[in-house]
Structures are given as C-alpha cells and as structure tokens.
Structure 1
Amino acid sequence: MRTRQPFSLSRRQVLRGLLATSAFGLTVKLGACADSSAGGGGSADNLVMGFVYVGPRDDYGYNQAHAEGHDHASTLAGVTTVEEANVPETTAVQESIRSMIDLDGASVIFATSFGYFDPHVLALAAEYPDVQFFHCGGLYQEGVHPENVGSYFGYIDEAQYVAGVVAAHASNSKRLGFIAAKPIPQVLRNINSFTLGARSIDPSVTTQVIFTGDWSLPVREAEAANSMADQGVDVLTCHVDSPKVIVETAERRGIFSSGYHANQVDLAPTGYLTGAEWNWAGVYEQYVQMIQEGKTLMNGGIPHLVRGGLQEEFLKLSPYGPAVSEEAKKAADTAKAQIVSGELVIYNGEIKDNRGNVVIETGKKLEQTAMELEQMNWLVEGVSGNVG
C-alpha cells in the first residue's frame, strides 16, 4: 500500500506542463486509450482510487470529513490513493480527474463536491467508460446517466435531528440559528430535521435561517453569525463547507454551537454541544471491499444509488460537550436509538411548512428513502426564512 499526497503544484498544472511537449502529448493520448480499455490501469491487487475536494482537506468541515475517509482508505491492503484539494466546480475538475486516470492509473474516482456531477462527472464517465465514478450527493437516474456513474450520500439529517434535541435543551431564548449555503434539498432537509428535533422537546422553539449564497463565504458567515447573536439566538449550527468561522464566532459571542461535517470541539471548548458528522471511512472501506471482490457499477454488483444513516453508520454524533446536561444526553440518546431501530420516523405527518400549508398529511410517513425528501423545497413550521 502507498499513498500519494498532493503535489506542491496542482495536477492540472503538472499535466499542462507535460502536455506542452508534443512527444509526451502523444504518449498521454496513447496511454489514455490503453487505460480506458483496461479499466483505468488498476489491477486486482493494486486498486488506484482518486479523491477530489472542492476546498482544503483541513477545513474543519466537509472536505476534511472526506479527507479523513481517504486517509482510512489509504491504509487498506491493495489500495493506492491519490488526492487533490481546492479544485473548483469548473472544467478544472475534469483536468484533475483526467490526470489521475491518465498519469496515476486511477480506475475509481470519488468526486466529492455537489457541483462536480453535472456536467463534469457525466462528461468524464462517457470519455472513460471503464473507470468507475462515484459522486457524493448526485441523484443518479437509471437510463439517463452513464452506467459507470454511482451516487453515494448519507441521511445526515438524522444526526441533525438528534443535534436539534440537544440544542432545545441548551437554549434559554428558544431561538436557534441555522446558517446555510444554498436552499437545495439536502440543505433544507438538514434545517427541517434540526428544527423538528428541537421542537420535539419544546414546540415553542424557532429556527432563524440565513442563506449565504455559496458553500464557502467566511465573511458572510461571520456576519450572519454575529447578526443572529445580536438578535438573541443562543445556539448556532450550519450547512456550509467549513463551520470553522461560525463555531468560532459563537464561542467568542458566548453562545452555543452545534457542529457539522466533522468534529469542531477544538474550536469551541466551552460552547460546543455536539455535531452531525460524516463517517466516510466506513463508506469508502465498503466500496473497496466490493471492488476487490470484482463487483462494479457496470456489472450490477455495486448499486448506482447508495444511501445510509445512523443505522448503517454513514454518520455519527460528535461527543457531547461540557454544556450538555444529563437530561439532554438522555433525550438525545433515546432519539438516536429510536431512529436506528426505525421506531422514530422524522417526517411523520401531519407536518406543515412555515407558511401554514400541510406538506405531509396526517398518518403519512416519509421514510428516509422517500423520493419526496430528495426533492424537498419547503421549510418546516417554526423556521423563519424563505426558500426562494
């Protein structure tokens, strides 16, 4: 096993430099042909996997969670990994992935950012039909998307629901704050589940939402956090790439925080309550096992759409911070156990949106696999904010 760490120059820059000579340009073109027919150059005893992140691998957030998963995968027998961070959701990601396939022999690609899927992963999948592309969060459509494309994601709103239970116990003002990047279904689902968890403890609890407009806007995130603190919000959480600024701001303002993606307790030793964390290490290990057994997306051995929650250990809760009461811990542990057992269904009607419309009728339960949840476009009752 060996792990290749990122170059000081990006792979895009290296590839451009190498292609500047016509001789090497011819070699790369021939190599790409050979790789395409041989599955990207990987072999049964040397699986080469590429990981691409939209931000830094030490961002205390989304990218760090995937990088931690990568680090675990790199220790597995018969696995070589290559990674690149800070790759934007533009054609730059296509250049990075091509270099992983053509230069490093990657036969498996994990494209971890939402905006990589369409058109970038889809275009590359058509170009390299024997390479398997796994995208985090994309919604694979059978008969529409290439058969060598798969989608994986987790029901992290389950952990957000439990975090909401903890937040309701900690809040004195009964006003929670949620700073989010974009009003896409995955984000709305987190906001709603966090709020439903909090309101299961106290129906008077409300959540104020501010959408910043993009995944990483530290200045706007700090402004939103300070604005909420000024208005009496005393627990902050978020769905942005890196919660670092928000958690640190909450700590400076003397209010509580609930983390996301990874563990941010080091940033807020006093006010950190818990957090909804990804457990990508286990997910990537499962993929490695399936691939090493000869299973692929193309032969039907690997599902094209993979989802999991607390029960499947796709996610976890950060350890409780010092401000979490025993009563809160007991309530949160109970909620988690009920979600794992299936006793607690988060989206169990009647549920209204924040405009008073019934969105889930009485007696109707939307299990985590329900497509309605993948297409969520509303905010639940108790949330102050607008989707559009």
Structure 2
Amino acid sequence: MKRMLKLFGVSAMCMALLLSLVACGEAPQEKKAEEPAKTEEATAPAAEEAKTLKAGFVYVSPIGDAGYSYSHDLGRQTVDGLDWATTSFVESVPEGADSERVIRNMARKGFDIIFATSFGYMDPIMKVAKEFPNVKFMHCSGFKKAENVTNYFGRVYQARYLTGMVAGAMSKTNKLGYVGAFPIPEVIRGINAFTLGAREMNPDVEVRVVWTKTWYDPALEKDAAKSLLDAGCDVIAQHQDSPAPQEAAEEAGVYSVGYNSDMSSFAPKAHLTSAIWNWGPVYTKTMEQVRDGSWKGNESLWWSMHEGVVDIAPMGPMVPEDVKSTVMAKRAELIEGNDICFVGPIKDQSGALKVAEGEKLTDAQLHDMMWFVEGVVGTIK
C-alpha cells in the first residue's frame, strides 16, 4: 500500500512537471499571436502618410503639339515625379459636351483634383463641380469659381511685351503679323502687350491680326500666317498651339516669335524668341496645398515672371546684342515685380486715351480687356 502511494506521488509529480512544460510551450505562441496587432498599429500612421493623391489633367490639343498642351504636360510630369502623387491625362478634348464627359468621368473615378487647362472648359467645370463637391477643380484662364473651383493663369502678357520688343526692333517693313486663336480677353491682352512692346522699340510699327477661331489646327494656322506674309508682315507671332506659323515664316525667309515653348527647333533661321510657360511650380504648389489641407476654392490666381511661371526663350543669334541688352533689362524689372506693361499713357485703336499717363490698368481691367491698343490692325469679332 505504501508502495502504491509512493508510486502515485511520483506520477503526480511527473504530471505536474509535464503540465508545466506544456504551459511553457504555449506562452511564446500567445505572444506571437499579439505581434501582428502591434505591427498594424505601428504602421497605420505611415500608411496614412503614404496616401497617394490623384490628379487629372484635361488638354484641348495633343501633347505632341509642342505648344500649349505640351507645356502643361511638362508641369504634369513634375507632379508625377512626386513620391506621394499620381497623375493621368486626356488629350485633344474639344471644348463643350466632350470636355464635360471627360471631367465627370475623372470625378467619378476618385481623382482628388482635376486641372482643366482650356478657357472653353469653364462652364463644364462649373457644372461637374456642383455634382462632386468633394472633388477640387482648377480651371486655367477662366474667371468663374466656386467653393471647390479655383481659376488660375499666368501673366504671360509680360513675356508677350518682351517678345514684342524683339519683333519691333527686327522689323524692316514695320508690319508684324499675329495669328490669334479666339477674340477673348486672354488673347486680346497678349496682342496688346506685344504691340506696346513693339512700339516701345519702333513707334511706327503696326500689328496685323488674323483670327483662326481654333486653338489647334496646324493647316489653318499656317494659312493664316501666309495671309499675313502676303500683306507684307516680316515677323509672324502667334497665340496658337502648333509651330505651323513658325514654319510658314521660315519658308518665307522672315522672322517669327513662338508661344508656349521654345519653338526654335521648328524654325531655327526665323525664330527670334518665344513667350513660354513653366507650369511645374504651379502644379507642384497646388498639389502640396491639397496634401496639407491649405488648398482653397473660390480664388483667382495669377502668377507672373516674378514667380518664374512665364518667361521668354533665349533670343536667336540674329538678334543684335544691343536689342538683347534692352530686352533683358526690361525682363529684370518684371522679375523684380515691377509690372510696367500696361502703364499709361495708352491709347486705344481709335486714338482715344484709355489709360492716363502714370496710371496702371488693374487686374480686373486686364481680365476684362476687350479693346485693342493703338497700332493694332484688326477687329474683335
């Protein structure tokens, strides 16, 4: 009996020891089960910080136009290079119903912000913005706005003024040709600035305007340039998206002034300079504001040479050094923030005084400009 009790006691001790070992084996398993939860808590903020912002861009012409849409797409590529942003674009979107459809599709796909880059996208943007109040919209060159819509542009008229100085100095016939897209304030403002700059260098010069009523139609743009060449113009400027007017000038053996990007490669013997865009800083800053929550709707933003958004391309070798020096001195003033382009006295096309000596047109007056300055030959219609 004592022997049995002794054996029972030993068995009990062995059982206790076995249970103890099993318990020790389970403890690490329980700890491992907790680790994933701790890992998720630690990485959640990082995942939030790494959230990718989606930006959509809508272009009125192909990005291969070497002009307006091309310059905007260079800015988009800057955004696409950000670690925390991704972009998408649709090119050659006509203004009107097609643009409304494209913009709405982007909003439905969850884009955080949509950049509509043509004037004629204004009403479609306003309509879609009402349907998607949580999406942010940026409209280029327009004037309408809302709580989730801001319009933006650059003071490209400053660059136009400088290119006009070059053109005026280089003309021998005192006739400059200007191929214009549409008779809207944006284009008229540029023509006027170009003319004022040209007449600063050559008071006898005139600027002849031909409208194409399109933003991008290379064949039509080239024909318009040829009509100006037939009228005796020896410098061709443009507010168009393709380099076709540059090519027409090169073929005719006269000079040209490009727009949107440096178009010298298309007309190396003709190209004097170009009024150019640099949209990268605008789009990067806007995306940063969306990211940190400081973006605001209901604003009108207008960047200048001071911010580096507009400028001129390098002047060609045919431009004399004294002309280059004069133009660059004026450029330096603009970069410093001294906007001297629309300071009176300024007369209109009929010779009537529009801006008194020493006075300066306000931004509101520039935005609404629907009159030509003295020296422009053409009508607004």
Q: Are residue 265 (structure 1) and residue 264 (structure 2) matched?
A: yes
Cα distance in 2, alignment partners of residues 309 and 44 from structure 1: 33
Cα distance in 1, alignment partners of residues 311 and 83 from structure 2: 25
Q: Are residue 73 (structure 1) and residue 79 (structure 2) matched?
A: yes
Q: Which residue of the partner structure matches residue 22 of structure 1?
A: none
Give the one of 114, 127, 133 matched to 2:131: 127
Q: Which residue of the partner structure matches residue 303 of structure 2?
A: 308
Q: Which residue of the partner structure matches residue 325 of structure 2?
A: 330
Map Cα deviations across residues 180-210 of structure 1 (whole Å, 9 max, x no partner). Answer: 0111111111001001111111111111111
Map Cα deviations across residues 82-104 of structure 1 (whole Å, 9 max, x no partner). Answer: 1111111122222222332333x
Give the one of 368, 373, 386 matched to 2:366: 373
8 Å contact from structure 2 (residues 117, 139) kept in 1 = yes
Q: Are residue 340 (structure 1) and residue 335 (structure 2) matched?
A: yes
Question: How big is the shift at 1:344?
Answer: 5.0
| 3-state SS, counterpart of residue 348 of structure 1 | coil
Q: Which residue of the partner structure matches residue 314 of structure 2?
A: 319
Cα distance in 2, alignment partners of residues 217 and 64 from structure 1: 15
Cα distance in 2, alignment partners of residues 174 and 317 from structure 1: 22
Give the one of 57, 60, 82 matched to 2:66: 60
Q: Which residue of the partner structure matches residue 137 of structure 1?
A: 141
8 Å contact from structure 2 (residues 286, 295) kept in 1 = no
8 Å contact from structure 1 (residues 44, 292) kept in 2 = no
Map Cα deviations across residues 6-38 of structure 1 (whole Å, 9 max, x no partner). Answer: xxxxxxxxxxxxxxxxxxxxxxxxxxxxxxxxx
**Cα RMSD, aligned residues only:** 1.6
Q: Are residue 174 (structure 1) and residue 179 (structure 2) matched?
A: no
Map Cα deviations across residues 317-355 of structure 1 (whole Å, 9 max, x no partner). Answer: 111112111111101101111222344521111211111
Q: Which residue of the partner structure matches residue 284 of structure 2?
A: 285
Cα distance in 2, alignment partners of residues 284 and 88 from structure 1: 23
Q: Are residue 253 (structure 1) and residue 252 (structure 2) matched?
A: yes
Q: Which residue of the partner structure matches residue 200 of structure 1?
A: 200
Q: Are residue 358 (structure 1) and residue 353 (structure 2) matched?
A: yes
Map Cα deviations across residues 269-298 of structure 1 (whole Å, 9 max, x no partner). Answer: 111111101111111011112122222325
1:207-222 paired onto structure 2 within 5 Å:
207-222=207-222
Structure 2 CA distance for partners of 1:342 and 1:108, relative to 1, 3 Å: closer
Question: How big is the shift at 1:43?
Answer: 8.0
Q: Which residue of the partner structure matches residue 86 of structure 1?
A: 92
Residue identity in the other structure for 2:225:
A
Cα distance in 1, alignment partners of residues 101 and 113 from structure 2: 16
Cα distance in 2, alignment partners of residues 114 and 247 from structure 1: 24
Size of the aligned set, in residue pairs, is 334
Cα distance in 2, alignment partners of residues 343 and 70 from structure 1: 29
8 Å contact from structure 1 (residues 177, 236) kept in 2 = yes
Q: TM-score, normalised by structure 2?
A: 0.84
1:141-180 paired onto structure 2 within 5 Å:
145-180=145-180
Cα distance in 1, alignment partners of residues 78 and 68 from structure 2: 16
8 Å contact from structure 1 (residues 335, 344) kept in 2 = no
Q: Which residue of the partner structure matches residue 376 of structure 2?
A: 383
Percentage of matched positions with identical amino acids: 38
The structure with the larger Rg is: 2
| 3-state SS, counterpart of residue 226 of structure 2 | helix
Q: TM-score, normalised by structure 1?
A: 0.83
Map Cα deviations across residues 52-78 of structure 1 (whole Å, 9 max, x no partner). Answer: 101101101111111111111110120
- Which has more helix, going by share of residues? 2
> After alignment, is 209-218 or 269-278 more displaced?
209-218
Moved over 4 A (4+): none
| 3-state SS, counterpart of residue 319 of structure 2 | coil
8 Å contact from structure 1 (residues 350, 363) kept in 2 = yes
Cα distance in 2, alignment partners of residues 354 and 289 from structure 1: 44
